[in-house]
A = this chain, B = another copy of it.
């Protein structure tokens, strides 16, 4: 009761020694940091020791944080600390999720690797089911396959070949290092025989074209044959 009049007098002469301004800054800093919501000046004053001047402390603090990674921001009538707006990108955390390739994708990939250059129609013929656009797109996106030359057959279909990324991922120096390729070939499994009624696959000038492509990747096999 008796203190009240003192309140109105200049703070310096009050009975209550207000904490030094540096201390008040610390207090404002701590309160703003820990509060779950923005804090008004009135609330700051209420929570700080008698005689403190939150508004002044806030101003000082704001200067102190200028250009730092954290900013003092006014939110309506209240104050809050937030990360500097130019550093918002740091509030992202990239998580890399590793997934297994789908069965369709791995089969398609295997066929491209063993039969490159290979057209979609050929992949479908080998797999016995149609190959969805998504599957091929996924492999292209992964940069494990890329477009090869067009086949010189009617419709000039695009072909697919495997990429350097593919070789890197599977730890292969070249596609001819694919394990078991020779064994499979010896067993006649890589004999890409056209089904009855389908001619022109790997014939004539296309053959020359293809084998050129294939040469790069399958030279060893070619000479073996």
Contacts and interface: CB of A to CB of B under 8 A. Distances in A.
Contacts of A90: 27, 30-31, 47-48
A30 B83 contact: yes
A48 B67 CA distance: 18
A31 B91 contact: yes
Interface stretch (A33-41, A165-173, A204-212): A33-41
A93 B47 CA distance: 6
Interface residues of A, number: 28
Contact of A26 (B48, B81, B87): B87
A36 B94 contact: yes
27 contacts: A25-B69, A26-B69, A26-B84, A27-B69, A28-B69, A29-B68, A29-B69, A30-B69, A30-B70, A30-B83, A30-B84, A31-B69, A31-B83, A31-B90, A33-B33, A33-B69, A33-B81, A33-B83, A34-B83, A34-B94, A35-B93, A35-B94, A36-B94, A43-B93, A46-B93, A46-B94, A47-B92
